[in-house]
Structure 1
Amino acid sequence: MTRLFHVSDLHFGAEDRAALDWFAGLVAAEAPDAIVVTGDLTLRARAREFAAAAAWLQGLGRPVTVEAGNHDLPWFNPWARLVAPYRRYRALEAAIERPLGIAGVSVVPLKTTARAQWRLDWSKGHVSGDALRRTLALVAATPAGGLRFVACHHPLVEPGTRMSSRTRGGGRALAALAAAGVDAVLTGHVHDPFDHVHRAGGRAVRMIGAGTLSERIRAQPPGFNEIRIAGREFETVARTMA
């Protein structure tokens, strides 16, 4: 059985140290095959927050892929946000938007953040045509017969949680991904776990969201998803800190 730990919204700068230690202890004890981080490593995209996130992730000692979240773009430096929004990610360069292929499952990135949008709330999701085309090309290059997961920060359609994503282009992207053979889309952003089956592109695709390991909890305590894969079957277990 292949096991993925899907974690999101670490928010270094407002991290829950007890939750991070709990998660790291489980990684050390259970040795998942890989860790998928679906964005918001930081609270304010400060260099010290990225450094702390990088040190923590590297200390886990497992294969990791990381997506960017809206909190990972500079807030207080408009020039940096528009010109070099991901410069502070350099400490994690090898893990950023890194496709993973592990024992029958491929994990492919999809960018849902935007430097600027034609609306007041830039924290919400946006899937550009270019981002979708890049992801579809990566999906097409994955091995036939295996599971295909896409990792991104924002839920592509509303999951019914307390917090919303309002992802522009999300419905179109979900339909295209489903038609391309994607089995599940792993996301974060809303800080509460969910696992829904959605019909799109003539197929059923799972929408799976992870909670948070930060102090910024919503309806559920700090937690993450364990995804257990056996052949073409998989289940999600939402694990929360007692």
Structure 2
Amino acid sequence: MSTFRLAHLSDPHLAPPESAMRGGGLSKRVLSRFAWRRKRHRHDPAVLDAIAEDLRAAGPDHVAVTGDLTNFATAEEFAAAAVWLESLGHPSAVTVSPGNHDALVARGAPDRFAPWRPWLGDEADDDFPRVRVRGPVAIVNACSAVPTAPHLATGQLGGAQLDRLADVLTETGAKGLFRVLLLHHPIAPGVVSKRKSLDDAPALREILARHGAELVLHGHAHEALLNRVAGPAGPIPTMGVPSASTPAGHHDPAARWNLIEIAPGAAGFQVRIEARGVVPGPAVQPVGAYVLAA
């Protein structure tokens, strides 16, 4: 089997259409609009365009986007994000795991992320996790995005999704597939503050410790991260990337995406990472490369 090339980017925070900036009364959405006006300089459409162009030029087999495409979870933003997703590739080659901003509030947001259904998974049903088998890889798409109270950015998988996830990991592991778990929130302890954390991360870590996965990809922290959590055959790497739209020279880490090369072999899978990020310009270039230890 040939090498499978998986691109990972996250938290693009697409510039909202003007219509998404109006209405809503007194709500978390209104508070978030005020925050966006203060922080919009952290997300530059030109930087995101450069990242997307560099990613397309690399020609990966599949693209994983781990959430926060929108800012206020309005219908207008979901429609605009669908157009952007189409620019990355065919829906069968792009998978989206929704983020907390994509579920900011329930009112006025598309039900069950409906406009993104072609990018969520192959199954006809709407339940997470969704599974996509591509060559030697099982892309397991979990959803940690839930509406929360003002000033909170927590996530939750919930008992039903966790139960299904345990079954999915067992089934795909028994087939010898390289299991990549996608979700928006990081799962390693201490990566983000409590108000931004995954509420049931301990339960998820217990499932991974029993049933295993080969790699976990997340966003949310807006940082380049590599952590590990316990698995049945050894530590499982968990990786995050900065926002795909943050310009270089800002106090936040500059935009980056990872090209993950997964090569099956007689002794198991070999995994090589090439990180590509912006420098002032914006230009995108290699910013690091390494191999994940088996």
TM-score > 0.5, shorter chain as reference: yes
Cα distance in 2 between the residues matched to 1:168 and 1:47: 27
1:96/1:25 CA distance change after superposition, 3 Å: same
- CA deviations on 1:189-215 (whole Å, 9 max, x unpaired) are 011111122224563111111211234
Alignment partner for residue 220 of structure 1, among 253, 265, 268?
Answer: 253
1:230 aligns with 2:263: yes
Alignment partner for residue 105 of structure 1, among 129, 137, 145?
Answer: 137
Equivalent in the alignment of 1:239: 276
* Structure 2 residues not aligned, in runs of 5+: 16-39, 122-129, 280-294
Contact 1:45/1:74 (8 A) holds in 2: yes
**1:89-128 maps to which residues of 2 (within 5 A)?**
89-97=113-121, 98-116=130-148, 121-128=151-158
**1:184 corresponds to which letter in structure 2?**
L
Cα distance in 1 between the residues matched to 2:49 and 2:162: 35
1:6 aligns with 2:8: yes
Q: Structure 1 residues 172-181 or 225-234, which shifts more?
A: 172-181
Alignment partner for residue 155 of structure 1, among 153, 175, 186?
Answer: 186
Cα distance in 2 between the residues matched to 1:201 and 1:88: 33
Q: Which has the higher helix share?
A: 2
Equivalent in the alignment of 1:204: 235
1:221/1:161 CA distance change after superposition, 3 Å: farther
1:73 aligns with 2:75: no
Cα distance in 2 between the residues matched to 1:162 and 1:79: 26
**1:109 corresponds to which letter in structure 2?**
N
Contact 1:158/1:164 (8 A) holds in 2: no
1:178/1:33 CA distance change after superposition, 3 Å: farther
1:53 aligns with 2:81: yes
Cα distance in 2 between the residues matched to 1:42 and 1:163: 22
Equivalent in the alignment of 1:28: 56
Cα distance in 1 between the residues matched to 2:274 and 2:190: 17
Cα distance in 2 between the residues matched to 1:123 and 1:2: 33
Contact 2:244/2:256 (8 A) holds in 1: yes
Contact 2:104/2:147 (8 A) holds in 1: no
1:79/1:30 CA distance change after superposition, 3 Å: closer
Task: Provide the identity percentage.
Answer: 29
Instruction: Normalising by structure 2, report the TM-score.
Output: 0.71
1:145/1:202 CA distance change after superposition, 3 Å: closer
Cα distance in 2 between the residues matched to 1:16 and 1:168: 31
1:43 aligns with 2:67: no
**1:40 corresponds to which letter in structure 2?**
D
Aligned residue pairs total: 234
Contact 1:157/1:166 (8 A) holds in 2: no
Contact 2:68/2:100 (8 A) holds in 1: yes
Cα distance in 1 between the residues matched to 2:161 and 2:116: 20
- Who wins on radius of gyration, i.e. which is larger? 2
Instruction: Normalising by structure 1, report the TM-score.
Output: 0.85
1:134/1:150 CA distance change after superposition, 3 Å: same
1:220/1:79 CA distance change after superposition, 3 Å: closer
**2:58 corresponds to which letter in structure 1?**
E
Q: Is the partner of 2:113 in helix, strand or coil?
A: helix
**2:272 corresponds to which letter in structure 1?**
E
Equivalent in the alignment of 2:28: none
TM-aligned CA deviation for residue 73 of structure 1: 1.5
**1:115-194 maps to which residues of 2 (within 5 A)?**
115-116=147-148, 121-142=151-172, 144-158=175-189, 160=191, 165-194=196-225
